[in-house]
Amino acid sequence: MAGTAFPVLADAPRRSLRPAPRVGSGTLVAPGIDEIIKKAGLGGQVCFAVADAQTGRLLESRNADRAMPPGSTAKTITAAYALAHLSGEHRFKTRILATGPIVDGRLEGDLILAGGGDPELDSDALGDMARDLKDLGLREITGRFLIFSAALPFIRKIDKKQMDHVSYNPAISGVNLNFNRVHFEWKRQAAGYEIALDARARRFRPQVTSARMRIIDRKLPVYTYSGGGDIDDWTVARSALSKHGARWLPVRNPAVYAGEVFQTLARSYGIILPAGREIKTLPGGTTVLAEAASPPLTEIIRSMLKYSTNLTAEVLGLSTTAARALPNSTLKTSASAMTDWAEKALGLTGSRFTDHSGLGGASRVTAKDFVTALVKIGPEGDVASLMKNIPMLDKKNRILREHPIKVRAKTGTLNFVSALTGFIATEDGRELAFAVLTANLPRRWEAEKSGREIPPGLRSWTHRSRRLQQQLIERWDLLYGA
């Protein structure tokens, strides 16, 4: 979604981006802020702040107290929130439990797939646990197959205003699989289209029936969704389908989806399970038959900041709030707890969060608050070390690998919202903390009404915002690098 590099506005030297001296002056002159903003032509608001990352001294700002939508830059605060309350080695665990013994290949009792909220659980991990059950000699069960999903609250959508079919807005549950996405693939045949819905990972691709797709002769809308019962029912416009293609769709019934996938994988190992049933309370007296552990929290956060996975951010936020024994029944209540913590721990004063991913457009953060938080976090802190390196590009979009300015940051992009926040290591070695927040909210509201996934003018607007961010970084390196 969000870009990961900045286009340079003119021919970029391989060793330095410092502007050439003006004719006859013999001095380096940084571009003016008004000039940079005018050239970008974004409309709306441009807000930024930059400070010395070691001392916190504010060096330059514009509209730094104006609260703006942060987009995915909110994940920076979520990462700090999780690391402050959960160990960096914390692992989420998914377990297979039994309520009775295995006798001659038969489980005398219920089998339970117990989710622990793991945001990175995939079909391969479920397949490995099914194999472990085979190694125990299990072939069938006398009781029920149950799916425990209440380790986290069930939330059908992260943001209700997003279009139904975007895969970055899935449901959240105590059991999450494949980032709660299902893979839809189509191929044109002589008599129509062949379609498939599966829960693919690297090694396993089980077909699913908990999501269904029908092709309809129409132009718009491209997709429709209805979610009655345990089935995600989709339709797609025939006119929108190419000869062959695929995309991920969100899953709205994660427990049903995970249960079906595990049932299919178990069958591939010769284990017969009945259809799964979701439960909210674990029975007592269970035995652990198999277990899958997530990567450690630090690696989960690194991946979240790199790929900007919304489900991961929400799971981390909800899990952290639960670990603090505070209400987390909704994203709003959990995000409110994170806001309160950030005010006390990071010095935020004019910001509020309504979720942990930044996907919802109602969250607001000021550039000043972001910079204050980054100074607290520190350029050598845990969060900073997990941020993605943002490469610089020349005018032909080639990465300048030996570029003297180094940027570690988090991007954030919504429709007509573009943000960047993180740390700059200048050419002279000084560390700066910065935040740039841009938004044209009237155009964003128009885009919401249009019903288009990519509204007109969005790509150009976002590109120009990133150019502005690049120019500001160049300016700060020149003015404050020494």
Q: Which two tokens stand for residue 367?
A: 């550039």
Q: Could you give the strand order of the β-sheet that contains 106-107, starting from the edge strand earlier in sequence?
A: 102-103, 106-107, 140-141
**Which stretch of 115-119, 322-326, 444-448, 450-454 has the lowest confidence by average pLDDT?**
450-454
Task: Name 5's Cβ contacts closer than 8 Å, sequence gap at least 6.
Answer: 390, 391, 392, 393, 397, 399
Is residue 19 scored above 50 in pLDDT?
A: no
Nearest to 254 by CA among 127, 119, 141: 119
For the chain, the average pLDDT equals 92
Q: CATH 3.50.80.20: does it fit domain 92-294?
A: yes
Check if 6-88+297-480 and 92-294 are the same fold. no
Query: Tokens 């802190």 map to which residue?
Result: 381
Q: CATH 3.10.20.600: does it fit domain 6-88+297-480?
A: no
**SS3 label, residue 97:** strand
Q: Which whole number is the average pLDDT over 423-441?
A: 96
State the DSSP H helix or E strand holding residue 415, giving kind and residue range, or none if neither: none
* pLDDT one-digit tens code per residue, 188-228: 999 899 999 999 999 999 999 999 999 999 998 999 999 87
List the beta bridge partners of residue 435. Answer: 49, 421
Residue 259 binned pLDDT confidence (cut-offs 50, 70, 90): very high
Q: Which whole number is the average pLDDT over 176-199?
A: 96
* pLDDT one-digit tens code per residue, 389-409: 998 777 776 788 888 899 999
| Sequence ranges of the domains in the chain | 6-88+297-480, 92-294
* pLDDT one-digit tens code per residue, 227-237: 878 899 999 99
Q: Which whole number is the average pLDDT over 125-148?
A: 98
Nearest to 173 by CA among 261, 80, 253: 253
Would you give the end-to-end CA distance of the chain in angstroms? 35
**Which stretch of 27-41, 95-109, 160-174, 353-367 has the lowest confidence by average pLDDT?**
27-41
**Rounded distance between C-alpha atoms, residue 111 and residue 287, angstroms:** 10
What's the pLDDT at 28? 60
What's the pLDDT at 402? 83
Is residue 282 scored above 50 in pLDDT?
A: yes
Predicted structure pTM score: 0.93
* pLDDT one-digit tens code per residue, 66-103: 999 999 999 999 999 999 999 999 999 999 999 999 99
Q: What share of the chain has pLDDT > 90, as a percent?
A: 85
State the DSSP H helix or E strand holding residue 169, giving kind and residue range, or none if neither: none
Q: Which whole number is the average pLDDT over 353-373?
A: 97
What's the pLDDT at 27? 55
What's the pLDDT at 452? 80
What's the pLDDT at 451? 74
Contact 133, 217 (CB under 8 A): no
Measured CA distances, 460 to 71, 229, 466 (Å): 18, 41, 10
What's the pLDDT at 12? 32
